[in-house]
């Protein structure tokens, strides 16, 4: 019968198309089995068949459809397996080849300087104490003898979260918290981030790092402070380094002093690093004010102590001859690679 022969010829034609290496299986499926495909075209003529012939031709048509679908599926699976094999060959790793070592990193200059400073003070018997960056006004100012309206608040203007909560402008609050919980003898340093409402320029930043220190015990004098700072300066900047005290005022220490170190580049003769002065200001220090001791529950008649504080950025700038604080936070690899 004509229709039966056409179906058989269609099956053979589809087989040849499927076996073609360059054939697209989706295009083959649409061409033979789609709504406008060749099988559909043959089935449209079934209306002219007799009622006895239709079931037989319909069964043959279904068998042809199923056969073509199975051949296409088999062909697709073969093509996928072949593609995977080629991909695995292309991505094959030769484990005998030497690997590519990642570029090694190193400590940021600020982290390096901070660790070196910590090592020096730990070697002198200090321990490290830490506190929150978000601080209460009481610990940041009031407990340090800086009440509301005190002029010293202007030089430490910081960022306020509320009237009583702020970002700490110094790490001195850590000292207060330690004195509240620990009775003398006390010997701690408190490194960390601090915040001040300063415009960013070559020597100022709204975020920088400080390291403050505190010693409280019986019989502590200004001489102990000077000896400790001389030891620190020599270990940090070289054995020939000298220090100089200049009278100053801090609300939380009395007496107070600004402390300079002799220029480690020119030895005090004057150069670009020390701005031809021979000295470089490095920190502030003094004897802990009796009011601060009393606020922390320590009897100033029985105990005395000294405190000091320095910017880690300033120490690093002095150490490496850097003249712009912004270089520490710009993440310029050309700058960082020098350390």
d(CA 32, CA 216): 95
Reported as a single tens digit per residue, the pLDDT across 52-95 is: 677 777 777 777 778 878 888 888 888 888 888 888 888 877 77
* pLDDT surpassing 80 at residue 335: yes
d(CA 46, CA 58): 8
Judge contact between 280 and 308, C-beta under 8 A: no
Residues 6+ apart with CB under 8 A from 20: none
* pLDDT surpassing 70 at residue 48: no
* pLDDT surpassing 70 at residue 49: no
More confident residue, 7 or 154: 154
Share of the chain above pLDDT 70, in %: 94
Nearest C-alpha neighbor of 133 from the set 83, 62, 208:
208
Whether a cis peptide bond, with omega within 30° of 0, leads into 137 is no
Residue 153 structure tokens: 């608040």
Strand duo 127-128 + 186-195: pairing: parallel
**pLDDT for position 142:** 93
Residues in the chain: 339
Range 185-194 average pLDDT: 96
pLDDT band at 258 (very low <50, low <70, confident <90, very high): very high
**pLDDT for position 46:** 66
Q: Rounded to the nearest 5 degrees, what angle is found at the Cα of 80, between the Cα atoms of 76 and 81? A: 120
**pLDDT for position 323:** 84
Nearest C-alpha neighbor of 14 from the set 63, 83, 77:
63
- Domains along the chain with CATH numbers: 2-90 (no CATH), 109-336 (3.30.930.10)
* pLDDT surpassing 80 at residue 47: no
Reported as a single tens digit per residue, the pLDDT across 90-134 is: 887 777 888 888 888 889 999 999 999 999 999 999 999 999 999
**pLDDT for position 45:** 65
* pLDDT surpassing 70 at residue 3: no
Could you tell me the pTM of the whole model?
0.67
247 phi, psi to nearest 5 deg: -55, 140
E runs forming strands in the chain: 127-128, 134-136, 165-167, 186-195, 207-217, 243-250, 253-262, 279-288, 304-311
**pLDDT for position 44:** 67
Q: Rounded to the nearest 5 degrees, what angle is found at the Cα of 261, between the Cα atoms of 258 and 263? A: 140
d(CA 314, CA 110): 10
Nearest C-alpha neighbor of 206 from the set 57, 302, 313:
313
* pLDDT surpassing 80 at residue 135: yes
- Mean pLDDT score across all residues of the chain: 87
* pLDDT surpassing 80 at residue 261: yes
* pLDDT surpassing 70 at residue 288: yes
* pLDDT surpassing 70 at residue 191: yes
**pLDDT for position 298:** 95
Residue 216 structure tokens: 């409280």
DSSP 129-148: ----SEEEHHHHTGGGT--T
249 phi, psi to nearest 5 deg: -130, 125
Judge contact between 167 and 157, C-beta under 8 A: no
Reported as a single tens digit per residue, the pLDDT across 302-331 is: 999 999 999 999 899 888 888 889 999 998
* pLDDT surpassing 80 at residue 228: yes
Residue with tokens 């008649």: 301
**pLDDT for position 2:** 66
**pLDDT for position 42:** 67
């Amino acid at each position: 019968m004509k229709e039966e022969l056409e179906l058989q010829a269609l099956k053979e034609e589809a087989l040849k198309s499927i076996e073609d290496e360059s054939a697209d299986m989706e295009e083959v499926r649409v061409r033979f089995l789609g709504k406008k495909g060749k099988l559909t075209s043959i089935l449209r003529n079934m209306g002219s068949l007799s009622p006895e012939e239709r079931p037989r031709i319909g069964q043959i048509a279904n068998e042809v459809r199923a056969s073509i679908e199975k051949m296409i599926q088999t062909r697709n699976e073969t093509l996928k397996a072949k593609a995977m094999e080629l991909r695995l060959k292309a991505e094959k790793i030769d484990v005998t080849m030497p690997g590519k070592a990642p570029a090694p990193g190193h400590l940021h200059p600020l982290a390096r300087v901070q660790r070196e400073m910590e090592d020096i003070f730990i070697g002198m018997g200090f321990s490290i104490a830490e506190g929150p960056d978000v601080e209460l006004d009481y610990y940041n100012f009031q407990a340090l003898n800086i009440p509301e309206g005190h002029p010293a608040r202007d030089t430490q203007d910081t960022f306020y979260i509320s009237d009583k909560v702020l970002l700490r402008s110094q790490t001195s609050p850590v000292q207060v918290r330690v004195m509240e919980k620990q009775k003398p003898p006390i010997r701690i340093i408190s490194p960390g981030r601090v915040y001040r409402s300063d415009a960013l320029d070559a020597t100022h930043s709204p975020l920088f790092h400080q390291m403050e220190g505190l010693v409280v015990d019986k019989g502590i004098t200004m001489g102990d402070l000077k000896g400790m700072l001389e030891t620190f300066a020599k270990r940090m900047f070289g054995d020939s380094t000298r220090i100089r005290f200049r009278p100053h005022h801090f609300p939380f220490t009395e007496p107070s002093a600004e402390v300079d170190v002799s220029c480690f580049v020119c030895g005090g003769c004057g150069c670009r690093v020390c701005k031809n002065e021979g000295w470089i200001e490095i920190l502030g220090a003094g004897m802990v004010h009796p009011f601060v001791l009393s606020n922390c529950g320590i009897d100033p008649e029985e105990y005395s102590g000294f405190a000091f504080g320095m910017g880690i950025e300033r120490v690093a700038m002095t150490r490496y001859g850097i003249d712009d604080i912004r270089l520490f936070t710009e993440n310029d690899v050309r700058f960082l690679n020098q350390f």
